[in-house]
Structures are given as C-alpha cells and as structure tokens.
Amino acid sequence: MDSTQLVLEVLKLVVGSGITAVAAFFAVKISASQRDIAKQQAATARESREIAAAKLNLDLFEERYKLFLEVWQFLSIASSVSDETQIHTPFTNLIPKARFLFGKEVVDFMTEANQRRIAYILAVRASYNQDYDSSEAEKIGERAKWLLDAASNCQKKFAPYLDFSEWQAQRWTKGLL
C-alpha cells in the first residue's frame, strides 16, 4: 500500500468518524430538545387538568348558588299566604336537583320546608272557615315562625357547599389565577 492510499484510508476513517461524531452530537442535541418539549407538554397537561378541575368547581359552585338563592327566596316568602297561593310550586321540582348538587342534609331540609309550607297554607286556609278552632292559631304561628327561622338559617345550611375558599386558595398558591 503506498502512502497515497494510506492517506486516503486514514482520511476515510477521519471523515467517517467525524460524520459519526457530528451525527451523534446533533442526536444528543435533538434528544435534549425533545426532552425539554416533553417536560413542557407534561407541565401544560398538568396545568390544563388543574384548570379543568377549577372550572368544574366553579360550575358546581354556580349551580349550587343558583339553587341556594331559589331556596332562600322560597323560604323568604313561604309565610306569605293569600287565596291565590299555590300549594304545588316549582320549589318541589328543585328537590331532585338538590339531590345531585348537595348532600342528604340539604335535601331533607328542603323536603321538610316544603311540607311545613304546605301545612302552613292549609292551616291558614282553614282559618278562613267559620268552623275554625281558634286554638289552631298558635299552631299557625309556630309554622310561620319555623318558615321564617328556616329562611334566616338557610345560608348556614348551605354554607359547607358554597365555600370555595379552599380550592381558590390552592389555585392562588400555584399562581394560576
């Protein structure tokens, strides 16, 4: 083998090794970039999940608050009775919705409020009759008082379900709000 061939063979090895080294260098750079992109995607997915959870909490809060306002309004006027007062009201139809949005305690509270309101309306209507026993007046007063007290305490009954400070505080500490 003459020196020219030897130089050519050495050059082939050097160039081949150089190309391999350059390819390896860029492969390392590309894999580092891919790793960084994967980390960013994971962070974005995590933030998206947290935002979706916060949105769900907000939606749930809004639905619960709407129902709370309807219950409060119902209780606030429940002791107002006239000849046109309906026994069946849309309030009765809210009870199944409350079953999904709240616990048993709120459903029981709403059911009792509805039953007491019906009993109150019937007692007031009975007092319009000539056969009315005046001893029933005390019962009417007690029923009206329960309804007024229920309206006053309505916010306390719903408070555990309307407290969003905990999940809101979590969002602030993560800096996403």
Q: Do residues 57 and 167 touch, judged by C-beta distance below 8 A?
A: yes
Regarding predicted confidence, which is higher, 68 or 176? 68
pLDDT tens, position by position, 53-106: 889 888 999 999 999 999 999 998 887 877 667 777 788 899 999 999 998 999
Confirm whether pTM is higher than 0.75.
Answer: no
Domain that holds residue 96: 3-173
Contact 121, 87 (CB under 8 A): yes
Collapsing DSSP states into helix, strand and coil, what is residue 144?
helix
The domain total for the chain is 1
| CA distances from residue 137 to 84, 85, 91 in whole angstroms, order as listed | 21, 19, 26
